[in-house]
């Protein structure tokens, strides 16, 4: 595939994202409410999506754009001792689900990123999140797919995996932008 074809594919995935901008704005508002009230975001993904999960939590604990309070967010894929111990003792399908069961409380938000929407460990994590009473949102490739079906809501993007993954990084930034815009003034300290 030529670079031009790759970039055309990315444009298609981004067009799919643009069509779902209202969902991202709504998610940002809900996330701002939940985290301001003491909730926590738990994020997970495999491979490149693991990097995006970490990217999202870093923006929330640090900051995206505005100077403001830190918020609680954990990338479950970065918990190397938990991932390796749970994977070793319970199997790779449980590496995120067990952490979700340990950390998630009602009022929390679980964000699961996948290009295929088929990774068994993310499907298990979605079930664990719902069982814990948390909100479960999935970022996936083309719908229908099992993860989109298992989550309460999904941002499903068209395109091949690499393009979906690239567009998901834009979606992560868009969510952070919507989140910071929706934060109550009390927790915002723009300099
Ligand atoms: O970054 C890439 C492909 O762009 C790979 O590392 C990719 O993330 C891995 O193959 C993942 O295991 C794929 O998982 P998923 O997106 O299908 O849930």
Dump pLDDT digits (tens) for 135-154: 999 999 999 999 999 999 99
97: Cβ contacts below 8 Å, ≥ 6 apart: 121, 124, 125, 127, 128
Tell me the best of 1, 49, 120 to mutate to test the pocket of ligand 1, counting ligand atoms within 8 Å of each CB and taking the most: 49
* DSSP structure class, residue 93: G
For residue 189, is pLDDT > 60?
A: no
Atom index in ligand 1 nearest the CA of residue 45 equals 18
Proportion of the chain above pLDDT 90, given as a percent: 94
Tell me which residue has its CA closest to atom 1 in ligand 1: 48
| Predicted-complex ipTM score | 0.97
Which helix or strand (DSSP H or E) is residue 154 part of? Answer: strand 153-156
48 close to ligand 1 (CB < 6 Angstrom): yes
Tell me, in angstroms, the distance from the centre of ligand 1 to residue 182's CA. 31
Q: Give per-residue pLDDT as tens, 30-47.
A: 999 999 999 999 999 999
Structural domain including 170 reads 3-187
Q: Give per-residue pLDDT as tens, 161-180.
A: 999 999 999 999 999 999 99
91: domain CATH number is: 3.40.50.10490
140 close to ligand 1 (CB < 6 Angstrom): no
Structure tokens at 119: 């990774």
Structure tokens at 160: 């091949």
Q: How many domains does the chain contain in total?
A: 1
pLDDT of residue 187: 62
């Amino acid at each position: 595939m030529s670079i031009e074809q790759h970039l055309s594919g990315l444009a298609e995935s981004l067009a799919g994202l643009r069509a779902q901008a209202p969902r991202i704005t709504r998610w940002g508002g809900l996330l701002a409410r939940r985290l301001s009230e003491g909730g926590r975001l738990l994020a997970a993904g495999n491979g490149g999506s693991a990097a995006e999960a970490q990217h999202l939590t870093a923006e929330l604990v640090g900051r995206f754009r505005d100077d403001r309070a830190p918020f609680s967010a954990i990338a479950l894929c970065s918990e190397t001792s938990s991932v390796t111990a749970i994977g070793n003792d319970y199997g790779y399908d449980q590496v995120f689900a067990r952490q979700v069961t340990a950390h998630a409380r009602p009022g929390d938000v679980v964000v699961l990123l996948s290009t295929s929407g088929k990774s068994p460990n993310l499907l298990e994590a979605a079930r664990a999140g719902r069982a814990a009473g948390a909100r479960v949102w999935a970022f996936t490739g083309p719908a229908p797919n099992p993860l989109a079906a298992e989550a309460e809501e999904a941002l499903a993007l068209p395109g091949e995996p690499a393009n979906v993954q690239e567009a998901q990084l834009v979606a992560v930034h868009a969510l952070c932008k919507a989140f910071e815009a929706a934060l109550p003034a009390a927790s915002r300290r723009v300099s």
